[in-house]
């Protein structure tokens, strides 16, 4: 089994997916823009060969270089789990005649307006929306949809350049800030709790499923620096409040023609119980969500994803033992971390439930919280009881404080 894996060294979590491919018996041919000498040891050990390209985002150049590099050698799979490269992987598959999801199928997971149109055509509930490419189109869409609404990039990832707009005055203030976004989706704001639906699929069939809740919704967390955002996986997927979201997710996968691999979907549960689709990608969730899922069941989904795409199998036993919560911390002030308050006390009381403590150390420079959800570090904790897991996460969010200066 020969697998071309795009960008094995970046982002950081790609190291484990590269390792997973090697562990299930694949020969891994990496393609990235990092020099071979800069690859992480885990990546170097897992790779059979590596091609450095000057511009990983230049699709035509990468395709030409990969074709020349392979020199007619047949490969069995071409994979990418980094959102900006999933379409490149699909184009490579089509050019080289490699099995896997087509460019058109992947586009349905990448283009936010197209995905909603295809899902709505299957009779599923999606937010009302329009594709917009100019200020005039934004104003026309806002009039048709009504306020409040959401404006976000067609091909964005996470919550970057995503805004809630409550009225015309707010839209006037926002438009100058997003002129760099060439194409956006203007859509209905759905008021409700926000969850994920995550899967590993084999030929479109979910062989692993996960649900996690955002606390609070990402849009709120992204606009308030003082908040310590929490994401918590749900141990009990059989509960009535969760099942409609899972069923929606399964129907979305069918509507979009999912193949084999990871998916990460977001959905809403309104106060009246209605579930509404948010968006989906044919890649795993970021911000350590796969680590959380691993801690939920004590498994290795990096390896199981590799097994699914290489061999069409999933072998892990997946009892859901815990609700696993990640708490992202943002320091107060700017500059270097100078003090962390409350961490020692929290660990002394609740350390038995903490899986990972990865806060920036004293002396490290603050990260830009607007550019990364991981912010100035995180803790992952878990507990079998949902209410206790949430309470522990809330304590970590409120009682641990990082100061910068």
Contact 63, 84 (CB under 8 A): no
User: What pLDDT shows up at residue 370?
Assistant: 77
Q: Which H or E run includes 307?
A: helix 301-311
Strand duo 163-165 + 77-79: pairing: unpaired
Domain boundary among 161, 188, 215: 188
The dihedral through the CA atoms of 170, 175, 180, 184 has a sign that is positive
Domain boundary among 53, 84, 100: 100
195 & 271 share domain:
yes
Quick check: is 309 in a domain?
yes
Rounded to 5°, angle at Cα 168 from 167 and 172? 120
Give the span between the Cα atoms of 324 and 382, in whole angstroms.
Answer: 4
SS3 68: helix
- CATH code of 275's domain: 3.30.470.20
C-alpha closest to that of 127 among 194, 213, 176: 194
Quick check: is 36 in a domain?
yes
pLDDT in tens, the chain (405 residues): 999 999 999 999 999 999 999 999 999 999 999 999 999 999 999 999 999 999 999 999 999 999 999 987 899 999 999 999 999 999 999 999 999 999 999 999 999 999 999 999 999 999 998 999 998 899 999 999 999 999 988 876 656 678 889 999 889 998 888 888 888 889 999 999 999 999 999 999 999 999 999 999 888 888 888 999 999 999 999 999 999 999 999 999 999 999 999 999 999 999 999 999 999 999 999 999 999 999 999 999 999 999 999 999 999 988 999 999 999 999 999 999 999 999 999 999 999 999 999 999 999 999 988 778 889 999 999 999 999 999 999 999 999 999 999
208 alpha carbon, distance to own chain's centre: 16
- CATH code of 74's domain: 3.40.50.20
Give the span between the Cα atoms of 171 and 145, in whole angstroms.
Answer: 14
Give the span between the Cα atoms of 41 and 392, in whole angstroms.
Answer: 35
Quick check: is 115 in a domain?
no
Structural domain total, the chain: 4
User: What pLDDT shows up at residue 159?
Assistant: 61
Instruction: Identify the residue whose tokens are 């823009």.
Output: 33
User: What pLDDT shows up at residue 156?
Assistant: 65
28 & 40 share domain:
yes
SS3 content of the chain, % helix, strand, coil (to 5): 35, 25, 35
SS3 273: coil
Tell me if the pTM is above 0.95.
Answer: no
Domain boundary among 319, 351, 386: 319
List beta partners, residue 382.
324
User: Within 10 A of 240 (CB to CB), how many other CB atoms are there?
Assistant: 7
Strand duo 77-79 + 2-6: pairing: parallel
220 & 242 share domain:
yes
Give the span between the Cα atoms of 199 and 253, in whole angstroms.
Answer: 10
Give the span between the Cα atoms of 51 and 228, in whole angstroms.
Answer: 40
Quick check: is 177 in a domain?
yes
The 3-class secondary structure across 328-360, one letter per residue, is: ECCCECCCEEEEEECHHHHHHHHHHHEEEEEEC
Quick check: is 283 in a domain?
yes
Rounded to 5°, angle at Cα 200 from 127 and 9? 100
E-strand ranges in 154-229 read 163-165, 184-188, 193-202, 205-215
Domain enclosing residue 153, as ranges? 128-188
Quick check: is 123 in a domain?
no
């Amino acid at each position: 089994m020969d697998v071309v894996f795009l960008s094995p060294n970046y982002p950081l979590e790609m190291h484990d997916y590269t390792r997973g491919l090697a562990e299930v018996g694949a020969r891994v041919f990496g393609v990235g823009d990092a020099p071979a000498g800069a690859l992480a040891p885990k990546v170097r050990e897992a790779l059979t060969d590596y091609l450095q390209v000057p511009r990983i985002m230049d699709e035509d150049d990468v395709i030409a270089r990969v074709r020349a590099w392979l020199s007619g050698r047949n490969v069995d799979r071409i994979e990418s789990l980094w959102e900006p490269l999933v379409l490149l992987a699909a184009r490579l598959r089509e050019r080289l005649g490699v099995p896997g999801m087509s460019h058109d199928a992947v586009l349905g997971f990448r283009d936010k307006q197209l995905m909603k149109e295809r899902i709505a055509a299957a009779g599923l509930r999606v937010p009302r929306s329009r594709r917009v490419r100019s200020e005039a189109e934004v104003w026309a869409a806002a009039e048709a949809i009504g306020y409040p609404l959401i404006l976000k990039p067609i091909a964005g990832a996470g919550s970057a350049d995503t805004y809630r707009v409550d009225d015309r005055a707010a839209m006037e203030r926002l438009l100058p800030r997003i002129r760099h976004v060439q194409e956006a989706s203007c859509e209905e704001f759905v008021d409700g709790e926000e969850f994920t639906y995550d899967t590993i699929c084999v030929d479109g069939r979910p062989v692993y499923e996960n649900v996690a809740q955002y606390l609070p919704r990402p849009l709120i967390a992204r606009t308030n620096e003082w908040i310590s955002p929490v994401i918590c996986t749900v141990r009990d997927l059989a509960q009535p409040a969760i099942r409609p979201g899972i069923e929606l997710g399964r129907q979305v996968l069918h509507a979009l023609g999912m193949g084999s691999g990871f998916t990460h979907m977001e959905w809403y549960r309104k106060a009246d119980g209605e579930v509404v689709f948010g968006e989906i990608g044919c890649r795993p969730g970021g911000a350590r969500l796969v680590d959380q899922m691993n801690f939920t069941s004590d498994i290795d989904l990096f390896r199981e994803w590799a097994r699914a795409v290489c061999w069409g199998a999933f072998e892990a036993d997946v009892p859901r033992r815990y609700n696993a919560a990640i708490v992202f911390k943002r320091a107060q002030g700017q500059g270097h971390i100078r003090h962390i308050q409350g961490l020692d006390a929290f660990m002394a009381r609740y350390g038995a439930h903490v899986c990972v403590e990865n806060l920036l150390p004293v002396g490290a420079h603050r990260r830009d919280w607007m550019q990364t959800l991981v912010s100035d570090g995180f803790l992952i904790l878990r507990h079998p009881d949902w209410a206790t897991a949430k309470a522990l996460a809330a304590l970590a969010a409120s009682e641990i404080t990082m100061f910068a200066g």
